[in-house]
């Protein structure tokens, strides 16, 4: 990644111990790690891992000279004192932000947020507390008799992330063991099996990762785990949930995907509650793939969504995940799961079918849609999911291209951009003409669910007709004749 250990730092914050210790971590990199713990105002311990020679934090010019004169190093608790005697700002000295001016000092406040403080030519800096080098604590996941076994299969994402203080960006970092200790007391209620399977952003996942996760889940359930929790990035969590539902048609325990909309260094983080309640779901009598995420703006309840019916409907809100064309099947409050809809109980065994064909894709219809996109897709893909307008329409000038693709053996299915409601291609001439080209309507199935399903089915058959027939079957609760009143809007 081209990191310069003298100037660039990567930190991650997570609650590791029920005693309330807060820590910042550095992933493996040259000349690392040392630990610099320092007590901050709340009395909690802050640990900063960085490479040797990194104490200057990248500060240059007059500000760098001022910090060096004060003997201030990254990890120290410092105070900026104003020349006019007014109250200054105090916090833990963080590395300089590359987008900030040379006169800006970055401090981490007691509430977890970072601020940039401008230092004037007559201001001064005082060191309030030193960061004393110390080796990072080593924690092992305990095993206690009589407690349910839960496997945590880490894949990355914001729920297991660290903050790059050069840019403010979030990067995957936590091991599964660290994640297991991120919720105070969690290891006292469950025997946690931790596996750091992946450490990637969810937008960087491929279908072969879905299969990899499915195999890990099946192995843990086959090895005696009561349930499996899969921490996952939220951006493509819905895709993975749907794919796992099709790859794991029978489950001897729950598979609970969980994420967080706010990273662990933010006071508004939803990571702890989501993970805690996901573990409660993982010990319930459930034999499905589900998603457990905040039910509302505030803490207090986590919704349980069927994996084939859930979608991220907001970029940043904690209640971003909603069941579409269905209601959540459950709700978790303070560790108690209340079922609100029909759900499958645990099966006697777990079955795995991880075959897939990644030669599938989604075409989004829009005014002026170019039929050449269909031709290009048909040359590369075996399956096309169309996100059509309204009841399942697309521009009539693309019909010839669609018909040629179907004739060449490409499976073309139709979903709706509206999300809520169902396709009905018998209402208008446009839809009826599309049906005659061989397009298969997907009813109220989500486009991402249709994509995952089509990839799995094409991995199981070379026959386009068989794939078309199976796309119409309800395999994992992904399609149905009934929808909530009001279209499922929150």
Q: Are 97 and 165 in contact (CB under 8 A)?
A: yes
First and final C-alpha spacing in the chain = 42
Query: Can you tell me the distance from the alpha carbon of 24 to that of 45, in angstroms, rounded to the nearest whole number?
Result: 10
Q: Supply the pLDDT for residue 435.
A: 97
Q: Supply the pLDDT for residue 47.
A: 31
Dihedral angle sign, alpha carbons of residues 146, 148, 149, 152: negative
Q: Supply the pLDDT for residue 22.
A: 33
Pairing of strands 45-50, 440-441: unpaired
Angle 207-222/237-247 helices, nearest 10 degrees? 60
Buried b (16+ CB within 10 A) or exposed e, 429-467: ebbebbeebbbbbbbbbbbbbbbbbbbbbbbeeeebeeb
Q: Supply the pLDDT for residue 55.
A: 52
Q: Which residues, other chains included, contact 462 with Cβ-Cβ below 8 Å and sequence gap of 6+?
A: none
Question: From first to last of its 490 residues, what are the pLDDT tens digits of the chain?
Answer: 333 332 222 233 333 232 232 333 323 323 333 333 332 222 222 233 333 333 567 899 999 999 999 999 988 999 999 988 887 899 989 888 777 889 999 998 887 778 899 999 899 999 999 986 654 455 666 788 999 999 999 897 666 655 544 434 444 545 656 666 667 788 889 999 888 898 888 999 999 999 999 999 999 999 999 999 999 999 999 999 999 999 999 999 999 999 998 766 666 788 888 999 999 999 999 999 999 999 998 889 999 999 999 999 999 999 999 999 999 999 999 999 999 999 999 999 999 999 999 999 999 999 999 999 999 999 999 999 999 999 999 999 999 999 999 999 999 999 999 999 999 999 999 999 999 999 999 999 999 999 999 999 999 999 999 999 999 999 999 998 765 555 443 4
Query: Can you tell me the distance from the alpha carbon of 38 to that of 21, in angstroms, rounded to the nearest whole number?
Result: 11
451: tokens are 């994509």
Q: Supply the pLDDT for residue 52.
A: 30
**Active centre residues (catalytic):** 158, 234-235, 312
pTM of the model as a whole = 0.76
DSSP for 205-222, written as a single string: --HHHHHHHHHHHHHHHH
Domains of the chain, each with CATH number or no CATH? 10-129 (2.30.30.520), 149-339 (3.40.50.1170), 360-471 (3.40.50.40)
Q: Supply the pLDDT for residue 149.
A: 95
Residue keyed to tokens 């945590």: 152
Query: Can you tell me the distance from the alpha carbon of 130 to that of 377, in angstroms, rounded to the nearest whole number?
Result: 60
Q: Are 226 and 252 in contact (CB under 8 A)?
A: no
Q: Are 219 and 264 in contact (CB under 8 A)?
A: no
Q: Supply the pLDDT for residue 161.
A: 58
Dihedral angle sign, alpha carbons of residues 475, 481, 487, 490: negative
């Amino acid at each position: 990644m081209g990191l310069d250990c003298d100037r660039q730092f990567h930190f991650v914050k997570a609650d590791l111990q029920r005693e309330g210790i807060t820590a910042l971590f550095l992933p493996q990199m040259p000349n690392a790690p040392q630990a610099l713990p320092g007590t901050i105002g709340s009395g909690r311990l802050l640990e900063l891992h960085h490479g040797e020679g990194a104490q200057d934090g990248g500060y240059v010019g007059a500000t760098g000279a001022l910090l060096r004169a004060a003997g201030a190093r990254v990890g120290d608790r410092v105070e900026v004192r104003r020349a006019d005697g007014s109250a200054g700002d105090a916090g833990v000295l963080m590395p300089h932000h590359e987008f900030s001016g040379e006169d800006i000092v970055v401090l981490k406040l007691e509430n977890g947020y970072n601020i940039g403080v401008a230092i004037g030519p007559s201001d001064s800096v005082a060191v309030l507390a030193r960061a004393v080098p110390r080796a990072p604590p080593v924690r092992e996941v305990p095993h206690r008799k009589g407690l349910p076994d839960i496997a945590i299969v880490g894949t990355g994402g914001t729920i297991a992330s660290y903050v790059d203080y050069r840019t403010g960006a979030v990067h995957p970092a936590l091991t599964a063991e660290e994640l297991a200790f991120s919720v105070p007391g969690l290891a006292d209620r469950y025997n946690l099996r931790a596996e750091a399977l992946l450490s990637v952003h969810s937008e960087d996942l491929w279908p072969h990762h879905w299969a990899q996760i499915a195999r890990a889940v099946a192995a843990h359930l086959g090895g005696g785990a009561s349930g499996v929790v899969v921490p996952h990035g939220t951006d493509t969590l819905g895709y993975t949930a749907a794919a796992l539902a099709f790859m794991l048609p029978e489950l001897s325990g729950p598979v609970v995907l969980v994420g967080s909309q706010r990273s662990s260094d933010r006071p508004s983080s939803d990571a702890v509650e989501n993970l805690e309640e996901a573990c409660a779901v993982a010990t319930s009598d459930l034999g499905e793939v589900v998603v457990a995420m905040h039910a509302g703006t505030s803490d207090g309840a986590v919704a349980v969504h069927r994996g084939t019916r859930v979608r991220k409907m907001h970029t940043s809100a904690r209640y971003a995940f909603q069941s579409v064309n269905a209601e959540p099947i459950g709700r978790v409050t303070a560790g108690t799961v209340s079922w609100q809809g029909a759900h499958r109980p645990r099966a006697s065994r777990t079955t795995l079918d991880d075959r897939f064909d990644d030669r599938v894709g989604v075409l989004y219809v829009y005014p002026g849609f170019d039929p050449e996109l269909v031709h290009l897709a048909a040359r590369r893909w075996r399956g096309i999911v169309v996100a059509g307008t309204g009841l399942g329409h697309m521009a009539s000038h693309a019909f010839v291209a669609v018909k040629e693709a179907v004739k060449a053996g490409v499976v073309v299915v139709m979903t709706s951009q509206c999300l809520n409601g169902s396709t009905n291609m018998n209402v208008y001439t446009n839809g009826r003409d599309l049906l005659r080209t061989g397009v298969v309507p997907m009813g109220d199935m989500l486009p991402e669910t249709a994509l995952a399903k089509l990839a799995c089915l094409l991995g199981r058959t070379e026959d386009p007709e068989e794939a078309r027939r199976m796309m119409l079957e309800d395999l994992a609760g992904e399609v149905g004749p009934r929808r909530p009143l009001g279209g499922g809007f929150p």
